[in-house]
Chains A and B, each alone.
Chain A
């Protein structure tokens, strides 16, 4: 049984990747969306004075871009399953529900990380040129990025599975998603800010934020995993 679950899991992740590579729907829409966010950031920051240090708010702006782009992708990834009733076909096959959950989480996580990996250099190029950055502590940014994305993909997959079945799905997902994400965002932004600012004092702050995010991931992933079976079958 374990090996069958492994086969099913691999097949589902592979299917999502093949479909995405073929249509490039999520990467394109999410990537473009995050670029547009950068334009809006530029406008929003255009009136700041010369004393303004973009490093102070870089972490917040980055996570803002991540959280909004992620919702776009989450919605799409579940709409694929729902469109022609494929989810029903999946549920009819002898697959354990958690396998579906984790396969969707991994798929979403991969696309999310890909878009984030594109966003960060673009953001740095557009906003952080000329700021003195500590390369050593900047190397920790991918770590918190990964930890935060796990939480986003986990909770997001559960909520998107609900929201695709609601009327007005584009509105429902953010309403459910953002307040639930608040604790994670708080930790992720503080850790990212510490990593960008750098310096010996920042490391303590980074690891506290990191621990907070990992704690959130563990609790929320377990809760989502437990609830998914009931949600997906409804």
Chain B
């Protein structure tokens, strides 16, 4: 999957601005992220992290500037691009009144997946929920929901996976399972993760991005980052408060 992608960069963001009136949620954001990289996005509340992910996942249109994911433009190729991206959020994004299997089958239909039953069984196996597949997700624990939500995000074999604070609200055991799942698919996929947790974010990432007031404060590969300096920079942006 990843190897089919001819362009070297998974994300190409150029002068991306998202504004309403004079209030700018994103203000001239530019960066390139190579394929199979893991990008952690840090920043205080209101820095524009969520807006950035929403623009990159075609949920919001940029006011100006361009963004390309796997070479697809987020505006003009939005529909095609959605086949290649997945989102794991702190919200499960699952219907509580459907069973685990029904949920996955439903989203499989939305993506037009061939032989949905086979694919769904495969994924339920992978997230170790096969034995609970006939239970309503209403009855699931937070960790199980998160696992199922990962299965949902991987249904259509996306090449770029967005993680919106996936660890929030998880118990340690669920965190381990999530870590394991991410590690298992890590080398074939590009990840973009929003995180408040500096340690976790730095541990996983190959690139780090700090946003404040909609602007890029820092964008560097992991190797180039001096952790002490990085922490100071991060703390300084938090001091900037809400943009």
Are A and B part of the same complex? Answer: yes
- A-to-B contact residues, CB < 8 Å: 4, 7-8, 10-12, 15, 18-19, 22-23, 80, 83-86, 88-96, 233
CB pair B82–A15 under 8 Å, yes or no, is no
* Chain A hits for B60, CB < 8 A: 233
* Chain B hits for A94, CB < 8 A: 79-80, 82-83, 110-112
CB pair B97–A19 under 8 Å, yes or no, is yes
Task: Known A8-B112, A11-B109, A84-B91; judge A92-B97 contact (CB<8 A).
Answer: no
* Chain B hits for A95, CB < 8 A: 110
CB pair A92–B79 under 8 Å, yes or no, is no
Q: What residue of chain B has the Cβ atom nearest to residue A10's Cβ?
A: B109
The distance in angstroms between the C-alpha atoms of A8 and B79, with both chains bound, is 14
CB pair A86–B93 under 8 Å, yes or no, is yes
CB pair A15–B106 under 8 Å, yes or no, is yes
The distance in angstroms between the C-alpha atoms of A91 and B85, with both chains bound, is 12
9 further A-B pairs in the complex, CB-CB below 8 A; given A83-B96, A85-B89:
A10-B109, A11-B109, A15-B102, A18-B102, A84-B92, A86-B93, A89-B152, A93-B111, A94-B82
* Chain A hits for B87, CB < 8 A: 88-89, 92
Question: Which of the listed residues B58, B82, B112 has the most CB atoms from chain A within 10 Å of its own CB?
Answer: B112
Interchain nearest-CB distance for A86 vs B (Å): 6
Interchain nearest-CB distance for B121 vs A (Å): 18
CB pair B96–A84 under 8 Å, yes or no, is yes
CB pair B82–A85 under 8 Å, yes or no, is no
Q: What residue of chain A has the Cβ atom nearest to residue B89's Cβ?
A: A85
CB pair A93–B89 under 8 Å, yes or no, is no
The distance in angstroms between the C-alpha atoms of A95 and B83, with both chains bound, is 10
* Chain A hits for B92, CB < 8 A: 84-85
Q: What residue of chain A has the Cβ atom nearest to residue B92's Cβ?
A: A84
The distance in angstroms between the C-alpha atoms of A191 and B216, with both chains bound, is 63
* Chain B hits for A89, CB < 8 A: 87, 93-94, 107, 152
Q: How many interface contacts (CB-CB < 8 Å) are there between A and B?
A: 73
The distance in angstroms between the C-alpha atoms of A12 and B108, with both chains bound, is 11
* Chain B hits for A23, CB < 8 A: 97
Task: Known A89-B107, A93-B107; judge A4-B112 contact (CB<8 A).
Answer: yes
CB pair A88–B91 under 8 Å, yes or no, is yes
| B98 close to chain A: CB less than 8 A | yes
Q: What residue of chain A has the Cβ atom nearest to residue B113's Cβ?
A: A7
CB pair B95–A96 under 8 Å, yes or no, is no
- B-to-A contact residues, CB < 8 Å: 57-60, 79-80, 82-83, 85-87, 89, 91-98, 102, 106-107, 109-112, 136, 152
* Chain A hits for B98, CB < 8 A: 15, 18-19
* Chain A hits for B106, CB < 8 A: 11, 15
**Residue from B57, B80, B95, B136 within 8 A of A15 (CB atoms):** B95
The distance in angstroms between the C-alpha atoms of A18 and B107, with both chains bound, is 15
The distance in angstroms between the C-alpha atoms of A94 and B155, with both chains bound, is 13
Task: Known A8-B112, A11-B106, A93-B107; judge A86-B79 contact (CB<8 A).
Answer: no
Question: Which of the listed residues A11, A15, A89, A91 has the most CB atoms from chain B within 10 Å of its own CB?
Answer: A89
* Chain A hits for B89, CB < 8 A: 85, 88
* Chain A hits for B109, CB < 8 A: 7-8, 10-11
Task: Known A18-B102, A94-B79; judge A85-B93 contact (CB<8 A).
Answer: yes
The distance in angstroms between the C-alpha atoms of A96 and B111, with both chains bound, is 11
* Chain A hits for B57, CB < 8 A: 92
The distance in angstroms between the C-alpha atoms of A207 and B172, with both chains bound, is 67
List 8 tightest A-B contacts by C-beta distance, closest first.
Answer: A11-B109, A85-B91, A89-B93, A93-B110, A94-B82, A4-B112, A19-B97, A85-B93
**Residue from B58, B97, B110 within 8 A of A90 (CB atoms):** B110
Task: Known A7-B112, A92-B57; judge A22-B93 contact (CB<8 A).
Answer: no
* Chain B hits for A92, CB < 8 A: 57-59, 82, 85-87
Interchain nearest-CB distance for B75 vs A (Å): 12
Interchain nearest-CB distance for A88 vs B (Å): 6
* Chain B hits for A83, CB < 8 A: 96
* Chain A hits for B82, CB < 8 A: 92-94
Q: What residue of chain A has the Cβ atom nearest to residue B111's Cβ?
A: A93
* Chain B hits for A80, CB < 8 A: 95, 97
The distance in angstroms between the C-alpha atoms of A94 and B81, with both chains bound, is 8
The distance in angstroms between the C-alpha atoms of A80 and B94, with both chains bound, is 10
